[in-house]
Structures are given as C-alpha cells and as structure tokens.
Amino acid sequence: MRSIGEPTSEAAKVLAGVLSSRVDADKAAYLIQDSAMTGARYGLGIDMEGLLSSLTCPSADDLARHGKPALGIRERGLSAAESMILARYWMIRRVYWHHTNRALMAAFKYVIALLAARDGFQFADYLRENLAAGERQAMSWLYDAVERFRVSPAASDAERNMRNPLEAMVRGDRLPYRRFVILEHGDPSTESLDHQIYKAIEKKTPSELLDLGHELGRMIGDLAPGLVVRSGDVLVDLPMRKRELSGGLTFVYGDTGDEQLGELMHVSPLLKGWQAEFDMHAKRCRVFIHPEVDEALGARAEEARREVKKWLAYRLRVA
C-alpha cells in the first residue's frame, strides 16, 4: 500500500494507475454500482469491453518522465474512455453533487472538522474502530464523539449548546438541512460577485470553513429579533478542489507500435473543453441552514440571503 501510495518503481506506478487514474477500476466499479442503485443510469452506458480490450502498459520512458501513477490505452479505446469520464461527469452533476447529498456531506465534514480542530480527532483512530463497521455504527461513532466533546472542558459555551448535525440521522430520520445560499462558480471571465466569493471560499481549510460557518450563524442570528442560531445550525459546503480530475495520468498510444499521442484529456477533442464547462455549470458552494432557523426567519429569508452574500463579500474582501 505504501509503494502504491507513493510509487517509485515502474510496477508500482502502473498498479497505482489501476487504482487511481482517469479511467481506473475504482471509478468503473462505483459508477456502475451507483447507477444501478440510484436509478441514474449514466454509469450503465460505459463501454467496459472496449476499454478493457484497449488497455496497454505505459512505456518505461513515460513512467520515468512523469513520475506519477499511469495507465495506457490504445487509440481505439478513446471513445470507451470518454464514456467513463462523461458518465462520471453526469453522476457528479446529478447525484454526487445533488443538494441532498451535499447537505449530507457537509454534515459529516462539519463534525470531522470540529473534532479535528477542537478535540484532537485522528482519522486513523476512526478508521481502526470502524473499518469493519456498518454505515450506522460508523455514523454513531462520530455522533457520540461530538456528544463527548460537548461536555468536555475543551468545549466553549457555544459548543456546549451546539446542534449535533448527525442527530436526526442517528434517530433514523432524514437529514433536515435546507439550501439557503448558492454560489455558482460560473465563468471566470465575468468576475461576478458569486465567482469571486466562490474562489475565496475555495482557498479555506476545513478548520477555516468550520469557523466561517460559525461566524455566518452569528451574523444570521443578528438579522431578526429573538432569532437563535446555534453552532451547527449553519453548514458551508464546497466540493473538493479539482476532485473531478484526481488520480494519475492516462496516456493514449497508437493502435500499433509505441507512439504516444498524448494524455487522454488533451488527445480527446470531446474532453478538451470539458473542464471549463464543468467549472462553470457544475461547481457550487452552498450554505445550508437548519429548518428551525429557516422557519424563524420567515418572510425575512430572502432579505437574509442577500445580506449573507454581502457579508461574505465583505468578510472575504472580494468587493
């Protein structure tokens, strides 16, 4: 595992490419399985037979030159590789980055960031205790860790009174958080306010995002008399930077011989403009709030949304 995580030998680079590249085995498995389980059928259109039949080992020169995990495919497999990348693109847009799923991710990221920043949480401990656990047990472990932290001397007064974002799910209910503010990545050339705020938030660490959410909560609480916003009522979600392009390289070779035509994302005319389109239309930063806060705002909700954007622009020094 260490040699694949930080590959130095040619064999390790190829093995790492099998596990992490543009068209790796992991993506093939989860795209097909998730499509079957969710009913979003994008992953069921992947041409696996065409992809597998076109796989080849990258040349030793290419592996040495780039020093990263890598796979190789023949030119005849280009359309099959495109089918996997585009299936992942649509699954990200329609399923993985759907607001319901992102609210769930935001809740878990909030809890992990809180424990890491305040309680010395180590992910290795979580992995060791939950590797063989089911989803409910793994979630309950995090919920219980927050509850222990809340009564510890390390917790502030606000944190002792916080809302545990996982509480509803531990009870077996749906996650209740609602979309409140959406910031589109958009076209960078327009330099819109949304884009500027998005790029500023994108630079934040998990701990900084946690604190930004707490500051937002206090700011929203000042918008209406008697409105109580607890820590944990506001979650800030931002998909990981360039996660959609994570992994090693995939080199395209001619159907005969060892001539390298280039890296997959540059060889395919279909994929060349894909990243810019993805950035503009798929990426969103969302601020979620607990429904109790949303309902307490009532008729002031729309005004509050505008004030949140103004506050973010001021706080992040983008306008």
The CATH number of residue 30's host domain is: 1.10.3210.10
User: Do 309 and 166 reside in the same domain of the chain?
Assistant: yes
Task: Go through 140-155 and write b for each residue having 16 or more CB atoms within 10 A of its CB, e for each that does not.
Answer: bebbebbeebbeeeeb
Total structural domains within the chain = 2
User: Are residues 133 and 263 both part of a single domain?
Assistant: no
pLDDT value at 125 more than 70: yes
Write out pLDDT tens, residues 292-309: 999 999 999 999 999 999
The pLDDT value recorded for residue 241 is 60
Round the average pLDDT of the chain to a whole number and report it. 90
Residues 202 and 213 occupy one common structural domain: yes
Residues 306 and 177 in one domain: yes
Query: Which pLDDT value is given to residue 276?
Result: 74
49-100 pLDDT tens trace? 999 999 999 999 998 888 888 999 999 999 999 999 999 989 988 899 899 9
pLDDT at residue 244, rounded to an integer: 54
What average pLDDT does range 15-19 have in this prediction?
A: 90
CA 74 to centroid of chain Cα atoms: 31
pLDDT in the model for residue 248: 83
Domain co-membership, 130 together with 253: no
pLDDT for the residue 3: 67
Residues 163 and 84 in one domain: no
Residue 1 has pLDDT above 70, yes or no: no
Are 111 and 198 in a shared domain?
Answer: yes
Provide the residue range defining the domain that includes 10.
2-96+244-278
Cα–Cα distance, 92 to 45 (Å, whole number): 15
Using CA atoms, how far apart are residues 22 and 32, in angstroms rounded to an integer?
15
Residues 298 and 177 in one domain: yes
Query: Which pLDDT value is given to residue 295?
Result: 93
